[in-house]
């Protein structure tokens, strides 16, 4: 504990940036039910932005979707959450298309991991669905 405190104090005094995830501003949209699954998520870039697009498969179509993004050094973590809605639902596979954009990025190369996390109750199952490389103009 003492060694950890000393490292944190020294890092703060020397202006060293500690590696922690920094939440980023985002745009997120999801649409459609039972969309066709065509490959894995893809990434595109524009000035200061990275957008991932894909399809999230769930056991039923009765899920709410949210997105978030965080940055650690040059690694961008894009997370799409699906939460089961507590209602009676048809027992058919749900496939929802999404687009998640991380905003406010500096120019340059980034590694991008895309994660799907499905909640049924309080605990979520997280899976990495893509590891990508991009260059932000």
Q: pTM for the whole thing?
A: 0.82
What's the CA gap between 44 and 99, in Å, rounded? Answer: 11
Q: Environment class of residue 57 by beta-carbon count within 10 Å: exposed (0-12), middle (13-18) or buried (19+)?
A: middle
Percent of the chain's residues with pLDDT above 90: 65
pLDDT tens-digit series, residues 47-98:
999 999 999 999 999 999 999 999 999 999 999 999 999 778 888 899 999 9
């Amino acid at each position: 504990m003492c060694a950890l405190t000393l490292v944190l104090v020294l890092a703060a005094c020397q202006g060293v940036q500690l590696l922690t995830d920094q939440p980023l501003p985002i745009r997120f949209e999801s649409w459609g039910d039972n969309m066709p699954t065509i490959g894995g998520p893809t990434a595109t870039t524009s000035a200061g932005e990275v957008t991932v697009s894909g399809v999230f498969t769930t056991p039923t179509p009765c899920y709410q979707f949210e997105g978030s993004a965080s940055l650690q050094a040059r690694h961008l973590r894009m997370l799409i959450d699906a939460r089961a809605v507590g209602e009676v639902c048809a027992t058919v596979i749900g496939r929802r298309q999404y687009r998640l954009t991380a905003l406010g990025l500096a120019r340059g190369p980034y590694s991008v991991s895309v994660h799907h996390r499905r909640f049924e109750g309080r605990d979520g199952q997280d899976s990495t669905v893509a590891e990508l490389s991009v260059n932000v103009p």
